[in-house]
Structure 1
Amino acid sequence: MSDALARPAAAGTSAPPRSNAVVAVLALAGIVVSLMQTLVIPIVPELPKLLDAPASDTAWAVTATLLAAAVATPVVGRLGDMVGKRRMLMVSILMLISGSLVCALADSLVPMIVGRALQGLAAAVVPLGISILRDTVPAEKLAGSTAVMSASLGVGGALGLPAAAFIADNWDWHVLFWTSAALGVVSLLLVVTLVPESHNRTGGRFDLVGSLGLSAGLVALLLAVSKGADWGWTSGTTLGLGAAAVVILAAWGRWELKAKQPLVDLRTTAKTQVLFTNLASVALGFSMFAMSLVLPQLLQLPEQTGYGLGKSMLTVGLVLAPQGLVMMLMSAVSAGITKAKGPKVTLMIGALIVASGYALNIVLMSELWHIVLVSCIIGAGVGFTYGAMPALIMGAVDPSQTGAANSLNTLMRSLGTSFASAIAGVILAQMTTEFGGYALPAENGFKVVMAIGAGAALVAFLLASFIPKRNAGAEPAVVEGAGEATPVKA
């Protein structure tokens, strides 16, 4: 790998010719991973028939991905800091390819769950990619590159739904996973060819006890949250898992504070800038996922209900696809605001845009163009927040800790989405209307969820206001050989 690529130009000089290619390759990898997350949505209702298994069991094809992603994200992020972010990025993409191949060959439940779990292990691709950008992209281009990489999650999710619905409607469902595997291979080859390895590493020993403790605590917590509605929120299993999560995570925190080389440096995460960014991430994860729960159901419910639009899954995907493009377009705008005012301002603006989108959705939800408008407004806000949060994290931690720090921030967003799914599920299950002998979510139920989504975004705005205006102790976003760089304002 040439020195020109491995060591970016100093601030104020022209970028290496291939730095844009690095950003594009990493963003593509992020899009492929987010595609994996939406790939299975069109066939979820058909899985019991396709896999000859009860619906309660086939639901694990979704739950397994969630659990694997939660466990892998902080662990792989830490390993990236230790042994190389590019190396762990390639391992993550290999997990995606392996999982896709297993699912593509599956005709029964167990291999499907195994394959989906392997796909979930690739979830660290985006935080690893952002950390690689810090080490390889010139300082003056870091804000824009980070925003593009962050937006790749939304773009993949938005474009993946109509693509997956089209494939599922016209070909055998296994083609979904063959496509995912092929895209993974392309991403891996491009990473091997164009992405340099970072020289910022911590080395040292891996905190195996810490990783096992965090994994056990997260699995217990997410199982209680994601399966509580099925098992009963007051059932012994749900309460037992919740209590176990509290005990395990408390013991894990104590261990991490004493460990010489912890999996997660809790003292760093306690810094005001990191702490409030992560708390805001939980609130935003909650808010952003509410849209994914409400809008597709509104579009698919029968028109005879008086508020449903009676559209197919393919139409749902096409209606929601523009939000992904808006996220990508807004990444350049958010980067400009970050450079001028700092990522704190960008995060607060994004949170307000998200809140306004939900508020608008409460009164505009009866036409296709209403849904397109609302999803694009929320998508614009998400584009702002996704670009700002990594910038805030990287402005407060040492370059050798960016993999773990960004991965933890991603995990916080994931926890928010899990809680959103549980709470929205309870609301929509309780607020129903009778239609054709079935209980369907009522219009007011959707409005309550949207109001909660707006409120969560406003909570994120409030939390972001506590982030210091400027982190005097932050290290400049500069790598070895890059010369002087201007620190990113907080």
Structure 2
Amino acid sequence: MYGPQTTTRSGVVPTLALAGTIAAIMQTLVTPLIADMPQLLDTSASNAAWVVTVTLLVAGVCVPVSGRLGDLIGKRRMLLVCAVPLFVGSVICALASSVVPMIIGRGLQGMGMGMVPLGIALLRDVVPTEKLSGSIALVSASMGIGGAIGLPLAAAVAQYANWRVLFWGSAGLALMIGILIYFIVPDVPAAAKGQRFDAPGAVGLAVGLVSLLLAISKGGDWGWTSGTTLGLFALAVVALLVWGFYELRTREPLVDLRTTARPRVLLTNVSSILIGVGMYAFMLIAPQLLQFPEATGYGLGQSMLAAGLYLAPGGVMMMIISPLGGKLINSRGPKFALILGALVISVGYALALPLMGTAVGIMVAGIVINSGVALAYGAMPALIMSAVPVSETAAANGFNALMRSLGTTIGSAVIGVVLAQMTMSMGGHSLASEDGFRTGLLIGCGVALVSAAVAGLIPALRTANEESKSEQTVTDEPSVRA
């Protein structure tokens, strides 16, 4: 039997980090194809947009469900399960000639996004304590690493080869990671084995999340005051309130809201949402600044491939910073690392404002911002796992991953609104203005600072000695009164 003090098989941590990286690559895979999707699939631009949206929606539902199932039936088994839809979805996309099978395939790819929280939770079972923080930091940052590295790779393939090669390549990656997990990752007894799966809770969460994420991600297209958008927001509120009421009263919930409400967990999740907003703001702004025509006076006229290559060093920096972040967590604690990460992100945005006029300047700002993201991403799971029972590790990490995803969705919507409202006219076309981009960068900086402030409110973890003293005090109270 494996335990936290047991020496692990060689390659477990790299395999889990690679799994998270591949899952993240699936998200950025279609970015270079978005503009060409209507023509490639013979459909409208609004229909083609679902190729991106469906992955977000399915991942939002499946990540917390996958986490809970990992606690119930085993994390390794669920990692293997997640690899299956990644592979099948990629094959369906590679063969697609119309928008419906492409949407189905992308939805299946979204089902595999639970790999990251499952991998992080598994580390608690198989990695020695002295190596745990660094391992968590690396696997947690793999989502950002995959996103940063995946964009230039996808752009290169899309530019120099048939677009279907992207999906055949992703199918090969999914198959490879499934094989590596099967042979390298050890099987650990399920922490919550014997408990039941909360199917009603899963359905309720799905209804609430899909309504919320759909309203946020499509509100800009449909209109924020349209009946559809407002109706979805209303449905989300009602569904999530009913879901929360049910979860508090069921014996074995999908998400233990009492544990989630603990200040250490709650404030970490709030900070995670804000970090997600701060991270994604730059991911939206930087590629546009790099690719806008030079005639605008602020655009840099780079190709999609060149833009991706300028942003790739940020992903490389995340790989470098992650193990250093683990050492920082060991020496100063995860709360310190989260605060520092948020502050570094804010510094990166502050640098981006004067440096946005050059591609190298944007690259430097991206390196700083991604360094902060690596520190923050490594600290969040460590904070969560220090405050939840072992039997809820995967579920709690899945919920935290959902909070990060919610943050990126909110960030996308907020920056999208800003850039849509602050525009300039050029050649008969409306383009986001320089002031719009500067405002977006200021929002990213401000949100990162708020995240640091929230992280500062996270209470310190009580030691076993302190808890023992507290219990002793309670025990002695009657005799004192007597």
| TM-score > 0.5 by shorter chain | yes
Residue 66 (structure 1) aligns with: 56
Q: 1:265: how far off?
A: 0.1
Q: Quick check: 1:258 aligned with 2:249?
A: yes
Name which of 24, 29, 32 aligns with 2:22. Answer: 32
For residues 68 and 318 of structure 1, what CA distance do their matches in structure 2 show?
29
**What TM-score does the superposition give when structure 2 sets the normalisation length?**
0.95
* Partner deviation per Cα, 1:371-405 (whole Å, 9 max, x = no partner): 11000000100010010000000111111111000
Residue 312 (structure 2) aligns with: 321
Map 1:129-148; keep pairs closer than 5 Å: 129-148=119-138
Mapped contact 2:70–2:190 kept (Cα < 8 A): no
Q: 1:437: how far off?
A: 1.1
For residues 265 and 9 of structure 1, what CA distance do their matches in structure 2 show?
27
Q: 1:424: how far off?
A: 0.8
Name which of 246, 263, 284 aligns with 2:237. Answer: 246
Secondary structure, counterpart of 2:424 in structure 1:
strand
For residues 22 and 276 of structure 2, what CA distance do their matches in structure 1 show?
20
Residue 149 (structure 1) aligns with: 139
Mapped contact 2:337–2:375 kept (Cα < 8 A): yes
For residues 244 and 163 of structure 1, what CA distance do their matches in structure 2 show?
39
Residue 105 (structure 1) aligns with: 95
For residues 79 and 471 of structure 1, what CA distance do their matches in structure 2 show?
29
Residue 431 (structure 2) aligns with: 440
Mapped contact 2:145–2:318 kept (Cα < 8 A): yes
Q: Quick check: 1:348 aligned with 2:339?
A: yes
Residue 186 (structure 2) aligns with: 196
Mapped contact 2:5–2:126 kept (Cα < 8 A): no
Change (3 A) 1:393 1:8: closer
Report % sequence identity: 53
Residue 480 (structure 1) aligns with: none
Which structure 1 segments of 5+ residues have no match? Answer: 475-490
Residue 216 (structure 2) aligns with: 225
Which structure 2 segments of 5+ residues have no match? Answer: 466-482
Map 1:142-181; keep pairs closer than 5 Å: 142-181=132-171
Mapped contact 1:151–1:387 kept (Cα < 8 A): yes
Name which of 265, 268, 287 aligns with 2:259. Answer: 268
Output the amino acid matched with 1:350.
G
Name which of 201, 210, 219 aligns with 2:201. Answer: 210
Change (3 A) 1:9 1:264: closer
Structure 1 segments of 4 or more deviating over 6 A? Answer: none
* Partner deviation per Cα, 1:429-480 (whole Å, 9 max, x = no partner): 1100111111100001011111111111111101101111223369xxxxxx
Mapped contact 1:286–1:416 kept (Cα < 8 A): yes
Change (3 A) 1:473 1:100: farther
Name which of 19, 30, 41 aligns with 2:31. Answer: 41
Relative to total residues, which structure has the larger helix share, 1 or 2? 2
Name which of 463, 467, 473 aligns with 1:472. Answer: 463
Secondary structure, counterpart of 1:433 in structure 2:
strand
Output the amino acid matched with 2:314.
Q
Mapped contact 2:41–2:97 kept (Cα < 8 A): yes
Deviation larger for 333-342 or 290-299: 333-342
* Partner deviation per Cα, 1:151-210 (whole Å, 9 max, x = no partner): 211221111111111111111111100000001111000100010122242131111110
Name which of 42, 53, 60 aligns with 1:52. Answer: 42
Output the amino acid matched with 2:33.
I
Q: 1:150: how far off?
A: 1.2
> Number of residue pairs matched?
465
Secondary structure, counterpart of 2:204 in structure 1:
helix
Residue 486 (structure 1) aligns with: none
Output the amino acid matched with 1:65.
T
For residues 228 and 138 of structure 2, what CA distance do their matches in structure 1 show?
42
Residue 85 (structure 1) aligns with: 75
Residue 309 (structure 1) aligns with: 300
Residue 280 (structure 1) aligns with: 271
* Partner deviation per Cα, 1:38-67 (whole Å, 9 max, x = no partner): 110000100000000000000000000000
Name which of 104, 108, 117 aligns with 1:118. Answer: 108
Name which of 291, 295, 307 aligns with 2:282. Answer: 291
Secondary structure, counterpart of 1:439 in structure 2:
strand
Mapped contact 1:30–1:156 kept (Cα < 8 A): yes
Residue 462 (structure 1) aligns with: 453
For residues 407 and 130 of structure 1, what CA distance do their matches in structure 2 show?
9
Mapped contact 1:200–1:399 kept (Cα < 8 A): no
For residues 218 and 363 of structure 2, what CA distance do their matches in structure 1 show?
31
Residue 485 (structure 1) aligns with: none
Residue 350 (structure 2) aligns with: 359
Secondary structure, counterpart of 1:234 in structure 2:
coil
Mapped contact 1:220–1:242 kept (Cα < 8 A): yes
For residues 104 and 60 of structure 2, what CA distance do their matches in structure 1 show?
16
Mapped contact 2:277–2:407 kept (Cα < 8 A): yes
Mapped contact 1:167–1:175 kept (Cα < 8 A): yes
For residues 279 and 270 of structure 1, what CA distance do their matches in structure 2 show?
11
Map 1:374-393; keep pairs closer than 5 Å: 374-393=365-384
For residues 144 and 155 of structure 1, what CA distance do their matches in structure 2 show?
15
Mapped contact 1:105–1:174 kept (Cα < 8 A): yes
Secondary structure, counterpart of 1:121 in structure 2:
helix
For residues 392 and 143 of structure 1, what CA distance do their matches in structure 2 show?
10
Name which of 117, 131, 155 aligns with 1:127. Answer: 117
